């Protein structure tokens, strides 16, 4: 049973025929070729993911926020105390968090999943179907999870992705919520991109210089441990992640197997995506990067995944906020192909193929 999560099927790539058809359709629309820039590229990507051109406008975009606490937060690597995670979960469940506001504006719905919040309050119990544990080990000196917990978390992420797609979700966003989670995310990025701690450690929640030095030391020590298990993605999650990030990795991997496009958010989602790409090579073709945040590790992860962000707004809150901010542009790109008139339909002359005779 524990080996089940290692048996990922081979991912199918987005449909090349639909991609080619979408590119051809763009050349027929009443605009100069390439004049909508990245919007054209996004629309083509959506068509390829959906396997049809023109693509269907999205009807049920869904944000799933994976919440969890991290033992390393006790080492003073964050600007906020650990109990804030459970408090923010409560705000999210009542619709008062940033992701609730932005998702409502963009036409997306939000689900919160407690994977490892260090609380047993009623608010977290209501979303704890897949909860693996309370918090995680302090990754600078011990594993984040046991092997069974890491496997359970990845299985949970896969099950959540399946449930969302089966429920009609046609576009997914993975959000994160957890004090201190940029520290394990930075370790994962450093390990999988071959970077040094000083290259990945950012300011996270707005830490001062002293906290930055504590964070850098924690990343350095955790990275030493993580590098010994690089060949095994599940062991890497066990050693240096946490149940929330492990579940997110399973979620992203399974979404690609279900041929469902995903918009990635910030550092934590990008770190989980790096591991998901190890679990299911080629999964990244089903993802778009919603935004470039302010964390140096985020830029390294996107470069490694060869993903160009849609937005560059320095959004570093997490929760899925940066990805949701990019959603309207993805919707526009899709509807351009689905609804814009062609030269023939509009009776508008197309571009000249040859120079007119003199």
Q: Give catalytic residues, as residue numbers.
A: 319
Two tokens at 142? 């011990």
The b/e string for 241-270 (b: 16+ C-beta within 10 A; e otherwise) is bbbbbbbbbbbbbbbbbbbbbbbbbbbbbb
What is the b/e burial string over 324-350, where b = at least 16 CB atoms within 10 angstroms of the residue's CB?
Answer: bbbbebbbebbbbbbebeeeeeeeeee
Question: Are the CB atoms for 221 and 140 separated by under 8 Å?
Answer: yes
Cis peptide before 54 (omega within 30 of 0): yes
- Helix %, strand %, coil % for the chain, to 5? 55, 10, 40
Round to whole Å and give the CA distance between 350 and 18: 23
Q: Determine contact, residues 242/183, Cβ cutoff 8 Å.
A: no
Tell me the backbone φ, ψ of residue 275, rounded to 5 degrees: -70, -40
Q: Based on DSSP, count helices (H) and strands (E) in the chain, helices before strands.
A: 15, 5
Token digits of residue 347:
């009776």
Report the alpha-carbon distance of residue 47 to residue 338 in Å, rounded. Answer: 10
Pairing assessment for the beta strands 171-177 and 61-68 based on DSSP bridges: parallel
**Matching residue, tokens 């051809």:** 24
Contact 215, 73 (CB under 8 A): no
| Cβ–Cβ under 8 Å, residues 255 and 159 | no
Say how far apart CA 216 and CA 92 lie, in whole Å. 30
Exposure on the CB side of residue 191, measured as CA atoms within 13 A: 32
């Amino acid at each position: 049973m524990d080996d089940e999560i290692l048996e990922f099927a081979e991912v199918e790539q987005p449909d090349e025929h639909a991609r080619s058809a979408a590119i051809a359709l763009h050349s027929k629309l009443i605009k100069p070729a390439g004049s909508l820039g990245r919007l054209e590229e996004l629309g083509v990507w959506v068509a390829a993911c959906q396997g049809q051109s023109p693509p269907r406008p999205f009807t049920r975009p869904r944000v799933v926020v994976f919440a969890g606490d991290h033992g390393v937060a006790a080492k003073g690597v964050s600007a906020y105390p650990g109990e804030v995670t459970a408090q923010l979960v409560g705000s999210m469940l009542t619709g008062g968090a940033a992701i609730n506001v932005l998702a409502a504006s963009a036409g997306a719905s939000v689900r919160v999943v407690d994977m490892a919040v260090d609380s047993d309050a009623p608010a977290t119990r209501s979303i704890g179907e897949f909860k693996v544990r309370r918090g995680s080990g302090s990754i600078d000196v011990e594993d984040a999870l046991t092997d069974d917990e890491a496997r359970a978390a990845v299985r949970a992420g896969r099950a959540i992705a399946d449930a969302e797609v089966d429920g009609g979700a046609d576009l997914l966003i993975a959000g994160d919520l957890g004090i201190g989670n940029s520290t394990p995310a930075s370790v994962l990025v450093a390990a999988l991109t071959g970077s040094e701690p000083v290259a990945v450690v950012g300011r996270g929640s707005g830490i001062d210089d002293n906290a930055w030095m504590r964070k850098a030391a924690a990343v350095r020590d955790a990275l030493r441990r993580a590098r010994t298990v690089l060949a095994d993605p599940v062991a890497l999650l066990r050693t240096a992640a946490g149940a929330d990030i492990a579940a997110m990795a399973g979620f992203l991997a399974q979404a690609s197997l279900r041929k469902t496009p995903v918009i990635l958010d910030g550092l934590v989602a990008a770190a989980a995506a790096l591991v998901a790409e190890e679990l299911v090579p080629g999964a990244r073709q089903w993802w778009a990067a919603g935004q470039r945040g302010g964390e140096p590790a985020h830029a390294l992860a996107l470069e490694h995944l060869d993903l160009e962000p849609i937005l560059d707004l320095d959004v570093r809150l997490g929760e899925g906020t940066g990805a949701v901010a990019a959603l309207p542009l993805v919707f526009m790109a899709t509807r351009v192909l689905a609804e814009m008139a062609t030269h023939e339909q509009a009776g508008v002359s197309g571009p000249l193929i040859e120079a007119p005779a003199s």
